[in-house]
Amino acid sequence: NIQNTQSPSPPTLSVSPGDRVTITCHANQNINRLLVWYQQKPGNAPKQLIYEASSLQTGVPSRFSGSGSGTDYSFTISSLQLDDVATYYCQQYLGSPPQ
């Protein structure tokens, strides 16, 4: 049961391999860490990377991380690789994390 989707900030980034990249996401109210982060590459379905704000899905590289609480959240790639170039989404949810 998805309540709504929040827009990451900044909407676009110019980056280079090896860069540390952080995207922030702000909710209008306290969402108690019920936030997931997705990666989507052209022509592919979104892939869930992180759930409950900071828990890494199985098989997701450790260079990806998430943090935050209340209304403010962030997603970080510690050292960007070429394969990481994609669109990233944050999404609030109710109940169990979406699959």
pLDDT of the chain along its 99 residues, tens only?
A: 334 445 566 667 788 999 999 998 988 889 999 999 999 999 999 999 999 999 999 999 999 999 999 999 999 999 999 999 899 999 988 777 776
> How far is residue 91's CA from residue 97's CA, in Å, rounded to a whole number?
10
Q: Given this model, what pLDDT does residue 46 score?
A: 94
CATH label, 5-92, candidates 2.60.40.10, 3.40.630.30, 3.40.50.2000, 3.20.20.70: 2.60.40.10
Q: Given this model, what pLDDT does residue 12 score?
A: 74
> How far is residue 64's CA from residue 49's CA, in Å, rounded to a whole number?
8
The residue extents of the domains of the chain are: 5-92
pTM (2 d.p.)? 0.85
Q: The tokens of 88 are what?
A: 């990233």
Q: Residue 12's CB: how many other CB atoms inside 10 A?
A: 7
